[in-house]
């Protein structure tokens, strides 16, 4: 269903249901709208865990729960329809989705308990969704967030997020809400691509600041001795020059990373001193924020400056090896 485009809709005996337009594309846009805020929320509550654990928990556990629900309840509804015990399709067409869902639940043993449990889960899901999105939006628009964003800021986004879909549902029903989700999801496609690129860069930066991290270096001790006036000697000289540039850039990057690590350590020491003195923790001092931002920018620039000579040095090494293999093949 996620990739079905109804290619024969309206041709011959095939009915044009508009299902891809009304639901498939709608859910593509729906997840694009949810992706930035939910990604930030999952990252926030997963602090201290590795990326593999976070991805496994978010993808497999959530998918398993959804699949289990659809397998059990979906097949139960199909069984009721096929056996003639309950006309689910008729109820769906006449009274809508809500009536159909609760009619299916009424066929279960202890139906009252399951309906109460289902309603409670729906309330928890809605409350958790609004709480997580409002938390992230409040954190993004507020500066100097050390622990949690201010409560009035979160309440503002909760009421805003509740009011907008309510108005859309009241004005035009579900169709208007679907159209708004699709229109809002299209620009987020570009933002999602930018977020993926930023995530890769942030991961590289985080790895470089870990204790024990060492840059890969290029060694030439195992290279054969060649005539400096030959073609191979010129290739070796070019490789050595580029290697020296890459080494200098790597040293510069390491110094920038060490300065950033020391700055973050200073921030932690400042926060610990405030806690031990009993003073209000408050926001991080502006001068530390400015210094951390400046050092982070220097790290990014140093990493970009190291990339080009490193790539060129690797290519020069490959060219030298090819020349040496060609020379050996002639002898």
Contact in structure between 169 and 176 (CB atoms under 8 Å): yes
* pLDDT tens track for 18-62: 777 667 777 777 777 777 777 777 877 787 788 888 888 888 887
C-alpha 294/C-alpha 296 separation (Å) is: 5
Q: What is the pLDDT of residue 178?
A: 66
C-alpha 22/C-alpha 17 separation (Å) is: 9
Nearest one of 68, 200, 61 to 53, comparing CA atoms: 61
Of 207-216, 229-238, 319-328, where does mean pLDDT reach its minimum? 207-216
Nearest one of 289, 213, 299, 202 to 260, comparing CA atoms: 299
Hey, how many other C-beta atoms are within 10 angstroms of the C-beta on 127?
11
Half-sphere exposure in the Cβ direction for 223 (13 Å, CA): 22
Instruction: Using DSSP, state whether 30 is helix, strand or coil.
Output: helix
Higher pLDDT, 226 or 113: 113
Token digits of residue 276: 């031990």
**What's the pTM?**
0.53
Compute the average pLDDT of residues 272-296: 75
Q: How far is CA 14 from the centre of its chain?
A: 39
C-alpha 204/C-alpha 172 separation (Å) is: 47
C-alpha 259/C-alpha 41 separation (Å) is: 29
């Amino acid at each position: 269903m996620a990739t079905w485009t109804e290619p024969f809709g309206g041709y011959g005996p095939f009915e044009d249901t508009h299902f891809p337009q009304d639901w498939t594309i709608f859910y593509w846009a729906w997840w694009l709208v949810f992706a930035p805020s939910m990604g930030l929320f999952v990252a926030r509550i997963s602090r201290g865990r590795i990326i593999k654990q976070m991805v496994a928990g978010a993808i497999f556990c959530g998918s398993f729960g959804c699949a289990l629900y659809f397998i059990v309840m979906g097949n139960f509804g199909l069984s009721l329809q096929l056996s003639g015990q309950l006309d689910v399709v008729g109820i769906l067409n006449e009274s809508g989705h809500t009536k159909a869902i609760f009619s299916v639940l009424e066929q279960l043993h202890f139906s009252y308990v399951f309906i109460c449990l289902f309603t409670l889960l729906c309330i928890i899901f809605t409350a958790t969704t609004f709480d997580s999105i409002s938390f992230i939006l409040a954190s993004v628009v507020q500066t100097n967030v050390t622990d949690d964003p201010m409560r009035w800021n979160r309440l503002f986004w909760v009421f805003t997020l509740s009011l907008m879909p309510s108005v859309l549902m009241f004005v035009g029903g579900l169709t208007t809400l679907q159209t708004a989700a699709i229109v809002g999801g299209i620009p987020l496609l570009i933002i999602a691509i930018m977020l993926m690129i930023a995530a890769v860069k942030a991961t590289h930066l985080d790895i470089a600041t870990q204790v024990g991290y060492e840059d890969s270096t290029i060694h030439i001790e195992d290279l054969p001795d060649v005539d400096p006036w030959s073609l191979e000697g010129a290739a070796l000289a070019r490789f050595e020059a580029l290697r020296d540039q890459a080494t200098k850039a790597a040293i510069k990057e390491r110094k920038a990373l060490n300065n950033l690590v020391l700055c973050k350590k200073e921030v932690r020491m400042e926060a610990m001193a405030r806690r031990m003195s009993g003073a209000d923790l408050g926001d991080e001092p502006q001068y530390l924020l400015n210094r951390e931002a400046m050092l982070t920018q220097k790290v990014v620039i140093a990493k970009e400056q190291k990339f080009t000579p490193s790539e060129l040095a690797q290519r020069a090494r490959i060219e030298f090896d090819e020349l040496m293999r060609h020379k050996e093949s002639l002898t």
